[in-house]
Amino acid sequence: LFPARVNSSEYFPIFLALLWQAGLFFHQGLAAALGLLYLCARYCYFVGYRTSSSERLTPIYFSSGVLWILLAASVLGILHFFLSHYVGLNILQLLTS
């Protein structure tokens, strides 16, 4: 169980930074839902780590996918912020009109 704890402690700062940025710049509700999904996947990873090696692969891949989605939401939110604040280009307004 120690390797699972070390693995999670390596990914936790990345998760927190992406969760904060996605919530601040993109959407708080989506970031909270993805954060819950990530935590549930990590819990399943711990449970699977205890039982067998094949049971831990699906949760680790799922949690990695959630991190990629959080990264995409963060990048889109930051890009929208900088484009609207510094360039004056509101992408959401262009898409809705």
pLDDT at 97: 72
User: Can you tell me the distance from the alpha carbon of 63 to that of 40, in angstroms, rounded to the nearest whole number?
Assistant: 9
Domains by residue range for the chain, with CATH: 1-96 (1.20.120.550)
Q: CA dist 10 to 6, 44, 64, 94, Å?
A: 6, 17, 13, 40
Instruction: Kindly report the pTM of this predicted structure.
Output: 0.88
What's the pLDDT score for residue 1? 67
What confidence score (pLDDT) does residue 65 get? 98
pLDDT for position 83: 93
| Low-confidence spans in the chain with pLDDT less than 70 | 1
Residue 89 has φ and ψ, to the nearest 5°, of -105, 110
CA distance 64 to 71: 10
| Class of residue 24 by CB neighbours under 10 A (exposed 0-12, middle 13-18, buried 19+) | middle
